[in-house]
Chains A and B, each alone.
Chain A
């Protein structure tokens, strides 16, 4: 890495950063896209030229300072450039989810008052035309101009308000030739406090909200974190997550423009994995779900591999799981293990990472939801520096991140540079940072609910700092309760910990305003079934298997392990699970116990199985219950069961090395 390579670009707006990059690293690659089977590359100087033509074209077409430009499509270089081009002339890009239904899109377009729309292809054009027609009939203003990238299928669209990006750029170049001062003057007018972008949050409740982020929000956050992680212009990343998602804006635009590294756009959404492999990114972000899918793919392929490969994979993976993370963190490891790991790198880890396209990864992040420790450890043991971060749209992503060498599976790391975090009385995480958004667009009431005048933002998540100063997010603040002795009780945190065991399919924990925490467990029929088969345990039904004392023993040991883990945290030690029972039926959406997306409806379950909860707290050794079940054909029946209530071993803080029993 040269001296210049690590120099971050200067400027308080994206167009200024672009000009700086074009000046100091003009010949370096800025953007790539695979088209017609070949990677096309644009240097920073070429990107500036494209953006300049787009900006002048947009201005010539009538887009004014303060106007909104909707951006809809997959990750395409031209769409990224359009965002910077809009900012250059003081307009505000509003990227929208490309897979939105017409109705959702119509709401966002109208709410943002987008005058122009820059879209990828005919699919998006058709949605916009439909919206335009509805709005016009109602006499409401709608998108005035549609600019599209892909010519395909557009031959017969004669409408005068539509134009291809190529035509817009040609007009822009002509305009630029006539007004050579225009672009630079307009760029100079922009500043750090200006609104850079508006992102609509999908919002699980109510209408989507437009989060307004300033240049400073994104650029300062990007600069701080790029410095921390040592990002430089020789890094490479692949932009494959939706452009409307804040992360893509911070990684693919913010950090790329600040550090000057190259961003590659995949050929299509279906070729992402192959494209990642070809590019070999050094910096990579993926939500846990994607890491999980990749791991599943690897495991399936290994099942089909030859006997010797399977043996080798198994042997070296068990070594990697034992010592890999420690080697990655630079901790001392026995010489023999080190040698074994080096052999494993040649025979297994290296080829595997190469097949996945992860050979060059220096830095990888995951966020969004809890990642299973097995999945997390798998990648780390292979030598991938995978870390977790915690963030949200309203904070320009980075709130906390795990520093190199201090990675734990169940925390989200330390506050990012410039971020102040405090834990409110209720356990809610509140923070202030350079990335905290300006406000929600046209929604001061919603803004006031989450942001104070002096810039503190309430996340709605409950968490605490562990003894190493790492933030641990445990649940949504509104779901967190307290035990009678005042200990935090975070049901989802307990349930997730339980569910990380493959034998446990669902868990429901109770404890708010009680003396102790207790739990219902639903076993995973497949996992426990095969476990039982290997031990020669026979069973006739789910109910029989669930009631087997040996299954109870299995689950008890897993609950005890969760308790041991909880005991390590002073704040959570009190919420160890004292008693549990295994339900005689699976929780089912048809019975109203789960939502259709398979989330437990806690209060409904509490009502339905109230008898069982009382039994868990009464100290009884078993409980009878009669429940109504809905069969798959819609008929209803009732099911009677006598359930055993089991005690789980609890641990004291600090955790003993071995379980006492």
Chain B
């Protein structure tokens, strides 16, 4: 932003303690090693990117964090608790929300209703109360609706509030999905390729929303992306995976100048011997 000179620079960004630590995680599917001894940490309030070429193990990493996959070895510590096996719904109730690479919304439902589903875990009243839609259940719904309206306002999707999401363009569906994740008031937000398949304008919008979420609510964000340009612009720290291994970790500038990263992305030919020595997992 050209408008911010050094004299008027915004307050420096501060990060807290690690909210999530991944240590020596391995994940195998039969003979295939998807993650090989990966370690990194995500600190509070930061935007942490995990990048890598296709098939590098990015989505697997996210699914491990999310509790969808269970690592074959290694440990994951979230909010100070090291867990062995966790189910996705447990992850959700502990403040981890996510979006998906392939949009997973209820296509026939409106934007508003889809985002309301993000509040599900916050609802206290049981099925019967909700079905009656009366008394305390009604009051509760109004409260949640108010929160959802703030999310809608934040993401600037007022005009599609009542539109069935199935009829929306792709970029907007992605935004609705982000809205649903935000409605859960997450401590850690996982974004699986939030810019995939978007045009330049949609990408710019999405970048701005990710930055705004981080800035306004202090939400910690971990995002996976293969579009390097986007990631380098918005992330605080970047971990690079290639063939299931972490090959670099650091600030965008450090990662950008890292030879291993350049090679992985540009596909520089390694010597035959090298390839054998590294005995890369497939």
A553 adjacent to chain B (CB < 8 Å): no
Min CB distance A46 to B, Å, is 22
On whether the beta carbons of B153 and A35 are closer than 8 Å, the reply is yes
On whether the beta carbons of A159 and B8 are closer than 8 Å, the reply is yes
- Chain A residue numbers with a CB within 8 Å of B161 are 37
- Chain A residue numbers with a CB within 8 Å of B152 are 36-37
Which residues of chain B from 44 to 64 have a CB within 8 Å of any chain A CB?
none
Which residues of chain A from 250 to 307 have a CB within 8 Å of any chain B CB?
267-268, 270-271, 274
Of A60-68, A110-118, A149-157, A354-362, the stretch lying at the interface with chain B is: A149-157
On whether the beta carbons of B158 and A270 are closer than 8 Å, the reply is yes
On whether the beta carbons of B212 and A270 are closer than 8 Å, the reply is no
B274 adjacent to chain A (CB < 8 Å): no
Which residues of chain B from 1 to 48 have a CB within 8 Å of any chain A CB?
1-5, 8, 10-11
Min CB distance B62 to A, Å, is 27
- Chain B residue numbers with a CB within 8 Å of A157 are 10
Of A126-134, A380-388, A520-528, A532-540, the stretch lying at the interface with chain B is: A126-134
- Chain A residue numbers with a CB within 8 Å of B149 are 36-38
Interface string of B145-174 (1 = CB under 8 A from A): 110011011101011010000000000000
The distance in angstroms between the C-alpha atoms of A38 and B148, with both chains bound, is: 12
B216 adjacent to chain A (CB < 8 Å): yes
On whether the beta carbons of A153 and B2 are closer than 8 Å, the reply is no
Return the contact of B146 from the options A36, A133, A155, A268 (Cβ within 8 A): A36
B205 adjacent to chain A (CB < 8 Å): no
Min CB distance B3 to A, Å, is 4
- Chain B residue numbers with a CB within 8 Å of A203 are none
Return the contact of A156 from the options B146, B154, B158, B215 (Cβ within 8 A): B215
Chain B residues within 8 Å of chain A by Cβ, number: 22
A637 adjacent to chain B (CB < 8 Å): no
Return the contact of B11 from the options A36, A126, A156 (Cβ within 8 A): A156
Return the contact of A153 from the options B4, B150, B159, B216 (Cβ within 8 A): B216
- Chain A residue numbers with a CB within 8 Å of B146 are 36
Chain A residue with minimal CB distance to B212?
A153
- Chain A residue numbers with a CB within 8 Å of B4 are 129
On whether the beta carbons of A267 and B158 are closer than 8 Å, the reply is yes
On whether the beta carbons of A133 and B5 are closer than 8 Å, the reply is yes
Min CB distance A142 to B, Å, is 13
Interface of B is mostly: helix
The distance in angstroms between the C-alpha atoms of A146 and B215, with both chains bound, is: 21
The distance in angstroms between the C-alpha atoms of A589 and B185, with both chains bound, is: 53
On whether the beta carbons of A156 and B10 are closer than 8 Å, the reply is yes
Return the contact of B8 from the options A35, A129, A155, A271 (Cβ within 8 A): A129
Query: Given A133-B5, A158-B10, A268–B212 Cβ distance below 8 Å?
Result: no
On whether the beta carbons of B158 and A271 are closer than 8 Å, the reply is yes
Return the contact of A271 from the options B3, B11, B154, B159 (Cβ within 8 A): B159
The distance in angstroms between the C-alpha atoms of A136 and B93, with both chains bound, is: 52
- Chain B residue numbers with a CB within 8 Å of A274 are 159
The distance in angstroms between the C-alpha atoms of A133 and B215, with both chains bound, is: 24
On whether the beta carbons of B10 and A268 are closer than 8 Å, the reply is no
- Chain B residue numbers with a CB within 8 Å of A35 are 153
- Chain B residue numbers with a CB within 8 Å of A152 are 154, 212, 216
Report which residue of B158, B215, B216 has the largest number of chain A beta carbons within 10 angstroms of its beta carbon: B158
Min CB distance B164 to A, Å, is 15
Chain A residue with minimal CB distance to B208?
A153
On whether the beta carbons of A133 and B3 are closer than 8 Å, the reply is yes
On whether the beta carbons of B215 and A130 are closer than 8 Å, the reply is no
The distance in angstroms between the C-alpha atoms of A153 and B211, with both chains bound, is: 9
Chain B residue with minimal CB distance to A127?
B3
Chain B residue with minimal CB distance to A37?
B149
Interface string of B163-200 (1 = CB under 8 A from A): 00000000000000000000000000000000000000
Query: Given A130-B2, A152-B216, A153-B215, A270–B10 Cβ distance below 8 Å?
Result: no
Report which residue of A36, A38, A158 has the largest number of chain B beta carbons within 10 angstroms of its beta carbon: A36
The distance in angstroms between the C-alpha atoms of A658 and B154, with both chains bound, is: 63
The distance in angstroms between the C-alpha atoms of A270 and B161, with both chains bound, is: 11
Report which residue of B4, B156, B159 has the largest number of chain A beta carbons within 10 angstroms of its beta carbon: B159
- Chain A residue numbers with a CB within 8 Å of B11 are 156, 158
Interface string of B131-155 (1 = CB under 8 A from A): 0000000000000011001101110
Min CB distance A382 to B, Å, is 25
Report which residue of B5, B8, B146 has the largest number of chain A beta carbons within 10 angstroms of its beta carbon: B8
On whether the beta carbons of B150 and A270 are closer than 8 Å, the reply is no
- Chain B residue numbers with a CB within 8 Å of A155 are 215-216
The distance in angstroms between the C-alpha atoms of A133 and B6, with both chains bound, is: 11
Which residues of chain B from 195 to 219 have a CB within 8 Å of any chain A CB?
212, 215-216
Min CB distance A121 to B, Å, is 11
The distance in angstroms between the C-alpha atoms of A36 and B149, with both chains bound, is: 5
The distance in angstroms between the C-alpha atoms of A649 and B215, with both chains bound, is: 71
Interface string of A11-54 (1 = CB under 8 A from B): 00000000000000000000000011110000000000000000
Chain A residue with minimal CB distance to B150?
A36
On whether the beta carbons of B3 and A268 are closer than 8 Å, the reply is no
Chain B residue with minimal CB distance to A122?
B212
On whether the beta carbons of A36 and B10 are closer than 8 Å, the reply is no
The distance in angstroms between the C-alpha atoms of A239 and B182, with both chains bound, is: 32
The distance in angstroms between the C-alpha atoms of A268 and B216, with both chains bound, is: 21
Return the contact of B1 from the options A36, A126, A267, A271 (Cβ within 8 A): A126
Chain B residue with minimal CB distance to A126?
B3
On whether the beta carbons of A129 and B216 are closer than 8 Å, the reply is no
The distance in angstroms between the C-alpha atoms of A35 and B1, with both chains bound, is: 29
Min CB distance A616 to B, Å, is 48
The distance in angstroms between the C-alpha atoms of A155 and B150, with both chains bound, is: 17
- Chain B residue numbers with a CB within 8 Å of A159 are 8
The distance in angstroms between the C-alpha atoms of A158 and B10, with both chains bound, is: 6
Min CB distance A574 to B, Å, is 52
Min CB distance B12 to A, Å, is 9
Chain A residue with minimal CB distance to B151?
A36
The distance in angstroms between the C-alpha atoms of A35 and B153, with both chains bound, is: 8
The distance in angstroms between the C-alpha atoms of A36 and B157, with both chains bound, is: 11
Query: Given A129-B4, A152-B154, A270–B216 Cβ distance below 8 Å?
Result: no
Chain B residue with minimal CB distance to A38?
B149
The distance in angstroms between the C-alpha atoms of A274 and B149, with both chains bound, is: 16
Closest 6 CB pairs of A and B: A156-B10, A129-B3, A270-B159, A36-B149, A37-B149, A130-B3
Q: Which residues of A does B touch, CB under 8 Å?
A: 35-38, 126-127, 129-130, 133, 152-153, 155-159, 267-268, 270-271, 274
13 further interface pairs, Cβ-Cβ under 8 Å (given A37-B145, A37-B152, A127-B3): A36-B146, A38-B149, A126-B1, A129-B3, A129-B8, A130-B3, A153-B212, A153-B216, A155-B215, A268-B156, A268-B159, A270-B159, A274-B159
In the assembled complex, 10 residue pairs joining A and B whose CB atoms fall closer than 8 Å, in A order, are A35-B153, A126-B1, A127-B3, A133-B5, A152-B212, A156-B10, A158-B8, A267-B158, A268-B156, A268-B159
